[in-house]
Amino acid sequence: MEGQPNLTQVLDREVDAFQKLDNVWRPKNLFFQIQTQELLRDMNRRFATMKANEGELQKLERASIYQTQLRRLELILRRAKFVRLSNQLAFGQAVSDFYTHYGQILRFLRIDQARGKLQSA
């Protein structure tokens, strides 16, 4: 096939784009350092806000669900901080998991608000 790179050229071209850890090749430079810092800052802010309102969450019908989701958010946040520099795929997955669980909390809060269960400030 004329004009297409052979496999050795592909490997040579990708040599700096991936890192090898524990016999697993992972892409690197998926995120800029400033992006990972901003994502962590935003995740910390959102978690701290929910944690600060934990008392109010405990008064709602779904208190056990909210408590479980808060614990998950905390564990995911720890994982994201741990893998931020060493494994960008795991960091991306942690970010995705965090916002998925945070979104579930917001969805349940919106339902509780529609039912008139939330008290306005």
- H or E stretch including 66? helix 63-83
Short-list 105, 120, 47, 108, CA closest to 77: 47
Q: How much is the pLDDT for 120?
A: 64
List of residues 6+ apart from 50 with CB closer than 8 A: 57, 70, 73, 102, 105
User: How far is residue 27 CA from its own chain's centroid?
Assistant: 18
Query: For the whole model, what pTM was predicted?
Result: 0.80
CA dihedral 31, 36, 39, 43 (to 10 degrees): 130
Q: Mean pLDDT per 10-residue run, the chain (121 residues)?
A: 62 67 72 94 95 91 95 98 91 96 93 83 54
| Two structure tokens written together for 58 | 């405990």
| 23 neighbors 79 (Cβ within 8 angstroms) | no
